[in-house]
Amino acid sequence: MCGTLRRMDASFTGSVFLGMSVDGFIARLDGDLSWLTGGQDAGGAPDDGEGGDFGFGEFVAGVDALVMGRSTYEFIAPFAEWPYQGRPVHVLSTTLTPGDDARITVHRSLDDAVAAMTAAGHRRVYVDGGRTVHAFLAAGLVGDLTLSRVPVLIGTGHTPFGELPADIRLEHERTRTFPGGMVQTTYRVRR
């Protein structure tokens, strides 16, 4: 696809950390994630079966704040242990009521969320959830992506990738493999 990618002004860099099927889906159409792994840690990240989290904990420790969509928030909200203690969590939603959950700040638009995170002086923001990742990619706000491919094909589902205003060129940083066959690759977005 050809075109121009509009880069929004922001003081932060968005970082993506996603588990997905080999065919590129992050959830089934009904939101089911049972195919992702036999177990999950408190943040919804896969568990490697040996108590490891494939680097998710280290990744979250390196961010200043998080931004996600309503569906991702609704998946994580009921966990017994809130996985983002000490970090501001911003949720993009037109249906959630601001103030209903003191752990999050609700924003009605991408522009509002970007303005709030910029005003707060965040430097590195974890971008999570399919539609949210896509919106941040389209706005030129993602600096790196870590994609963990689980060895399963699910055929159809939700993907954070789709039509974009322009190609987004990536530079390979590293690839790791884990017991059980997960392959995790980190890319930097080329500017």
**pLDDT value of position 24:** 94
Residue 16 pLDDT greater than 60, yes or no? yes
Average pLDDT of every residue of the chain: 88
**pLDDT value of position 44:** 45
Q: Average pLDDT for residues 3-15, to the nearest whole number?
A: 73
Residue 150 pLDDT greater than 70, yes or no? yes
Q: What is the pLDDT of residues 67-97, one digit of tens each?
A: 999 999 999 999 999 888 889 999 999 999 9
Q: Enumerate the domain spans of the chain.
A: 13-189
| DSSP classification of residue 62 | T
Q: What is the pLDDT of residues 107-127, one digit of tens each?
A: 999 999 999 999 999 999 999
**pLDDT value of position 40:** 43
Residue of higher predicted confidence among 6 and 110 = 110
Q: Average pLDDT for residues 41-59, to the nearest whole number?
A: 63
**Bridge pairing between strands 142-150 and 65-69:** unpaired
Q: Give domain 13-189's CATH architecture.
A: 3-Layer(aba) Sandwich (3.40)
The Cα–Cα gap between 97 and 109 comes to 14
**Bridge pairing between strands 65-69 and 89-92:** parallel
Closest CA to 101 of 111, 88, 117, 110: 88
Residue 18 pLDDT greater than 60, yes or no? yes
Percentage of residues in the chain having pLDDT higher than 70 = 87
Q: Average pLDDT for residues 44-58, to the nearest whole number?
A: 66
Q: Average pLDDT for residues 23-51, to the nearest whole number?
A: 69
**pLDDT value of position 139:** 93
- Given its phi and psi angles, is residue 114 left (phi above 0), alpha (psi -120 to 50 degrees) or beta? alpha
Percentage of residues in the chain having pLDDT higher than 90 = 72
| H-helix or E-strand spanning residue 142 | strand 142-150
**pLDDT value of position 67:** 98
Residue 177 pLDDT greater than 90, yes or no? yes
Question: What is the maximal distance between C-alpha atoms in the chain?
Answer: 45
Q: Provide the whole-model pTM.
A: 0.87
pLDDT band at 36 (very low <50, low <70, confident <90, very high): confident
